[in-house]
């Protein structure tokens, strides 16, 4: 595209000399209101918590210590690994993973189906899939809660149809949270897979069938390896937000489903909170996410050079 004709090539650099004033607002806003705060948050995680909820500007590893190490109730026992918070992280990772798998199992067939529709109907299907995404996540989560609670419409319908004899206790379970995460991020799984399948050449499937492969073997041997980049992108786009999700565990899960998002939120409730600790947990979460993103970037780069 660049340099298609001498004319358009020169248009590509029209604003070159104005690039600094054009980008200054972006640099300022994101630099001051995103990058700086994150840096300050990093600093905060190394500060000491004050009794009444503020902070003392004194370097301390107390927040990270609290996260990883157990020194007993009064802090005087020999240090052992602190499992409480690691368990929260572990649980979040597990929930996010299950939600991702759910999204994959439902999202892949859906994406494939949409991508194999005739071009006219394809747009309509895509539109239908993405519209719920544009509804406020809070409202979507609230609607889900309304639907699946014990005396909610779902149970009413199931009871009425005679499928069950007692209402299902779906709220405040792991499943409810997974369902909530699935519901929140499904379009993020469908769209990248759809894009990958759209680029897929069905002649490959025909060649496989021509060479005696059944449909499902073709799916396993030919389709999935080729569509893999889209699948991985979709999984990341679901897994990462699910890790730090707050609304689904808060509104759909109970005390047993405490996740990273809730752990962090709790630290910032006025005088009860521990801001350095909250900052530390956020740092740990962010590091986890950045590592995942870097791994992804590296494997994507390796795909390019293959």
Partner 1 sequence: MTCAVDIRTVTKTYGTFTALHGVSLSIRDNEFFTLLGPSGCGKTTLLRMMAGFEDVTKGEILLFGQNIASLEPNHRPVNTVFQQYALFPHMSVIDNVGFGLKMKGWSKEKRRTRAGEMLEMVHLTDFADRLPAQLSGGQQQRVALARALAPQPKVLLLDEPLSALDLKLRQAMRMELKQLQEDTGITFIFVTHDQEEALTMSNRIAVMSAGHIQQIGSPQDIYESPLNRFVADFIGDTNLLQVEVAAISGDQAQVILPGGQRVACSTATTEKGTHHLSIRPERVTLVPIGSGLQAVVEQVIYLGTDLQVLVRLDGGTAMQVRIQNAARTEVPSPGTRVGLQLEEGAARLLAD
Partner 2 sequence: MALRSVRHYPGFFGIALMCLTVLYAPLIVVMVYSFNDSPSITNWGGVSLRWYFDVFTGPEAPRFKAAAWNSLSIAFLAATIATCIATAAALAMLRAGKFKGRSLTFAMINLPLMVPEIVIAVATLIFFTMIGFTTGYLTILVAHITFCIPFAYLPIAARLQGIDGSYEAAARDLYATRAQSFFLVLLPLMAPGVVSGYLLAFIISLDDFIITNFVKGAGMETLPTAIFGSVKQGIKPNIMAISTLMLAVSFLFVTLSYLINRRGR
Q: Which of residues 25-44 bind partner 2 (CB under 8 A)?
A: 25-27, 29-31, 33-38, 40-41, 44
For residue 92, what are its two tokens?
A: 């979040």
d(CA 246, CA 265): 8
104 binds partner 2 (CB under 8 A): no
Q: Count of residues for the chain? A: 306
Comparison of 30 and 169: residue with beta carbon closer to partner 2: 30
Residue number, 8 or 80, with CB nearest to partner 2? 8
Piece of the chain touching partner 2 by CB under 8 A; list 64-72, 75-83, 91-99, 129-137: 129-137
Of 193, 194, 191, 192, the closest CA to residue 115 belongs to: 194
Q: Interface with partner 1 by CB under 8 A: which range of 98-106, 190-198, 218-226, 284-292? A: 218-226
204 binds partner 1 (CB under 8 A): yes
Q: Which of residues 231-250 bind partner 2 (CB under 8 A)?
A: 240-241, 243-244, 246-247
What angle in degrees, to the nearest 10, is found between the helix axes of 83-115 and 275-305? 40
The residue among 16 and 306 lying less far from partner 1, judged by its C-beta, is 306
Q: Name which position in 4, 51, 81, 211 contacts partner 1 (CB under 8 A).
A: 211
Number of residues forming the site for partner 1 (CB under 8 A): 18
Residue 302 lies near partner 1 (rule: CB under 8 A): no
The 131-160 site mask, x for binding partner 2 (CB under 8 A), equals xx-xxxxxxx-xxxxxx---xxx--x----
Q: What is the DSSP letter of 172?
A: T
Candidate list 33, 127, 212, 216; residue touching partner 1; CB under 8 A: 212
Rule CB under 8 A: say whether 68 interacts with partner 2.
Answer: no
Please list the residues that pair with 221 across neighbouring strands. none
Rounded CA-CA distance 52/38 in Å is: 24
Place of tokens 């900052």: 279
Q: State which H helix or E strand residue 154 sits in.
A: helix 153-160
Query: Are 88 and 260 spatial neighbours (Cβ–Cβ below 8 Å)?
Result: yes
- Return the residue of 55, 213, 219, 286 that touches partner 1, per CB under 8 A: 213
Nearer to partner 2, 253 or 278 (CB): 278
In sequence order, the 6+-apart residues with CB closer than 8 A to the CB of 231 are 104, 108, 192, 193, 196, 224
Strands 48-49 and 80-81: unpaired
Q: Using CB under 8 A, which of 12, 58, 198, 206 touches partner 1?
A: 206
Q: Which of 118, 114, 121, 244 is nearest to 189 (CA)?
A: 114
Are the C-beta atoms of 69 and 82 separated by less than 8 Å? yes
* Contact flag: residue 84 with partner 1 (CB under 8 A): no
Encoded tokens for 84: 């409480």
The answer to whether 34 contacts partner 1 (rule: CB under 8 A) is no
| 217 binds, options partner 1, partner 2, none, Cβ within 5 to 8 A by partner type | partner 1
Out of 219, 226, 229, 232, the residue judged to bind partner 2 by CB under 8 A: 219
Report whether 90 contacts 81 (CB < 8 A): no
Please report, as ranges, the residues that interact with partner 1 according to CB under 8 A.
201, 203-204, 206-214, 217, 221-222, 225-226, 306
């Amino acid at each position: 595209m660049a340099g298609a004709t001498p004319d358009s090539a020169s248009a590509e650099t029209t604003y070159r000399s104005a690039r600094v004033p054009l980008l200054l607002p972006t640099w300022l806003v994101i630099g001051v209101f995103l990058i700086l705060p994150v840096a300050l948050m990093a600093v905060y995680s190394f500060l000491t918590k004050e009794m009444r909820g503020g902070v003392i500007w004194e370097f301390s590893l107390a927040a990270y210590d609290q996260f990883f190490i157990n020194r007993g109730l009064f802090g005087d026992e020999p240090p052992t690994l602190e499992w409480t918070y690691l368990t929260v992280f572990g649980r979040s990772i597990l929930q996010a993973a299950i939600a991702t798998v759910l999204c994959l199992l439902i999202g892949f067939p859906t994406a494939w189906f949409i991508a194999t529709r005739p071009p006219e109907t394809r747009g309509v299907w895509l539109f239908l899939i993405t519209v719920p995404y544009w509804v406020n996540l809070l409202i979507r989560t609230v609607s889900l809660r309304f639907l699946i609670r014990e005396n909610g419409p779902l149970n009413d319908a199931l009871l009425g149809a005679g499928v069950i004899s007692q209402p299902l206790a779906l709220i405040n379970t792991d499943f409810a949270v997974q369902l909530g995460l699935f519901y929140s991020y499904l379009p993020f799984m469908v769209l990248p897979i759809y894009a990958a399948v759209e680029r897929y050449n069905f002649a490959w499937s025909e060649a496989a069938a021509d060479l005696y492969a059944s449909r499902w073997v073709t799916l396993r041997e030919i389709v999935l390896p080729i569509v893999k980049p889209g699948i991985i992108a979709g999984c990341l786009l679901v897994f990462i937000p699910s890790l730090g999700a707050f609304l689904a565990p808060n509104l759909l899960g109970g005390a047993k489903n405490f996740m990273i998002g809730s752990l962090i939120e709790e630290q910032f409730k006025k005088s009860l909170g521990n801001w350095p600790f909250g900052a530390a947990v956020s740092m740990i979460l962010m590091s986890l996410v950045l590592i995942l993103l870097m791994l992804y970037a590296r494997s994507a780069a390796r795909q390019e050079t293959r």
